[in-house]
Amino acid sequence: MAKGYNANQQRLADISALGKQLAKRAGFRCEWCASKDDLRPWDQHPGQEITEATLALLCQRCRALADGTPADPNELHTLRNALWSDIPAIAEGVATVLVRSRQPWVREAIEESLLDEAIKTRLLAEL
Ligand SMILES: [Zn+2]
């Protein structure tokens, strides 16, 4: 138990250490929707090694979407541009949210994106 707690504290410290670079990369805007609302790092793969590639600076709303809150179909269009990012936490992260929404335009958006073919195949299999 104590070990898990310490590991979690260490992880939060590691994320925090990357926070400044992350904010700079993001231009102090949400990397999914460009909002400036309560920006914090989002950890794409808890349990794996933390790098800048697996962190995205997200607003409160996008963090909720990332955690599985159902999205309003209209707001999803604001996330579409993030599919073009070459940073996995941005492009793959947003793709996962789009797939979960099952909107009719999502398949085409993912097919057109520059995501890795293996990732595309996996995502499209869920649609
Ligand atoms: Zn956002």
Instruction: Estimate to the nearest angstrom the gap between the alpha carbon of 80 and the chain centroid.
Output: 12
Distance 15 CA to ligand 1 centre (A): 18
Distance 40 CA to ligand 1 centre (A): 10
- Decide: 109 and 127 in contact? Cβ < 8 Å: no
Quote the pLDDT of residue 40: 96
Instruction: Estimate to the nearest angstrom the gap between the alpha carbon of 111 and the chain centroid.
Output: 18
Distance 3 CA to ligand 1 centre (A): 33
Distance 101 CA to ligand 1 centre (A): 16
For the stretch 31-72, pLDDT in tens is 999 999 999 999 999 989 999 999 999 999 999 999 999 999
Distance 7 CA to ligand 1 centre (A): 28
CA separation (Å) from 95 to 7, 14, 40, 64, 70? 29, 25, 19, 15, 14
* 1 has pLDDT over 80: no
Distance 1 CA to ligand 1 centre (A): 34
How far is residue 98's CA from residue 80's CA, in Å, rounded to a whole number?
Answer: 8
The chain-wide mean pLDDT, for the chain, equals 94
Domain segments of the chain as ranges: 2-125
How far is residue 71's CA from residue 13's CA, in Å, rounded to a whole number?
Answer: 30
